[in-house]
Amino acid sequence: MKITSLPSLPAPPYWLRLVLQAIVPFVGIFFSLVFVVVAPFMLLLWPWDRHLALLRCLFLALYVMWEDIGLVVECWYLRLRSPRGNSPTWDEDHLALIRQALNNIMFTAGKVVGFKVDVEGIITVGRPGHPLVVISRHAGPADSLAIAWLLASTAGRIPRIVLADVMLWDPGIAMVLQRLDSYFVPSRSGAGDDRSRGVAELASTLSDKDAMLIFPEGRNWAPDRHEGLVERLRARGEHARADRVASRPWVLEARSRGVAAIRENAPEADVMVVAHTGLDMLTGPGPVIRAVPFRNRLLFRGITYRSEDVPTDPDEVASWLDAEWDEVNGWVDAHVRQREQS
């Protein structure tokens, strides 16, 4: 799986990551005390905030922090049990940590802010004996979290994740994923070709129990980002490309380089293409808080292709992905229109 679309930020050095792991429980205690002091005053906002949306969001953020602290503590415990990390259940133990944390977060998010997930039809997670690669649209709050939860709860596969190195600032996530041999993509500054090379290296090591998630748009869709992309393409004189992007208002341009690297290095992997909608227009903290409790559910659709039905030639991958993105845009557009009419 791959989780990206985070702002560029230099990764913390190794010594600082160790410090973060050591102090994060105390940070959690500090913010918990702050919340206990602040919460009664926030209740006074009820005449203006009838749903107590801000209070709910702050509580959920605090809860997620404590889940992350739990990952740190559990990782320490697993290290004590297996100092060299050579336990026969090493991967399975860490997969269980991720699955439990995601289950807890999704359950709590549903209760606190109304974050619910529905699936259209039946999602198959690839054939036994084949790795799984998931290619997804990226839009709305917590979509990567929800996809990771769906994969962990239904597929039971070991995540081999490519994600932005800014995630190394998150002690719990970083500890678990590093132990599962994940790859943290360097920030763009000075990264050179390392971004696609890391994807290729990870793909070449996938086993038949693994899942890899990639967002080929590279960042979260938002109306202003879509409009800005069209404007930049026109300013560069790439009018045909700009027209193509403009014709698909619900997706950003899908970059095929990473997908092609995966197909070249893991040709035996089955491929799932994921579309989703429901919280698309919640593109910032303000809209998210105003929408709480969420009235729309996050609706997913996943179509899985056999490995032999997906091309491996880079040019053919680009054409295949472009056609798939037409389908994703059309599916989202149809559901958005349906919601507007209901």
Smallest CA-to-CA distance from 4 within 175, 251, 183 is with 183
Yes or no: say if 114 and 143 are a contact pair by the CB < 8 Å rule: no
pLDDT attached to residue 203: 92
Q: Which domain holds residue 301?
A: 2-341
Yes or no: say if 132 and 306 are a contact pair by the CB < 8 Å rule: no
The model scores a pTM over 0.75: yes
Is 298 exposed, middle or buried, given 0-12, 13-18 or 19+ CB atoms closer than 10 A?
Answer: buried
Q: CA-to-CA distance for 298 and 279, rounded, in angstroms? A: 6
Tens digit of each residue's pLDDT (9 = 90 or more) over 303-334: 999 999 999 999 999 999 999 999 999 999 99
Yes or no: say if 296 and 339 are a contact pair by the CB < 8 Å rule: yes
Q: CA-to-CA distance for 215 and 311, rounded, in angstroms? A: 18
pLDDT attached to residue 187: 65
| Other residues' Cβ atoms within 10 Å of the Cβ of residue 128 | 7
Residues of the chain falling short of pLDDT 70: 1-9, 187-195
- Written as one letter, the residue type at 173 is I
pLDDT attached to residue 194: 53
pLDDT attached to residue 8: 56
pLDDT attached to residue 218: 80
Helix residue ranges per DSSP H, 160-222: 171-179, 194-204
Give the chain's domain count: 1
pLDDT attached to residue 188: 56
Please give the helix or strand (H or E) that residue 305 lies within, else none.
Answer: strand 298-305
Radius of gyration of the chain (CA): 21
pLDDT attached to residue 190: 47
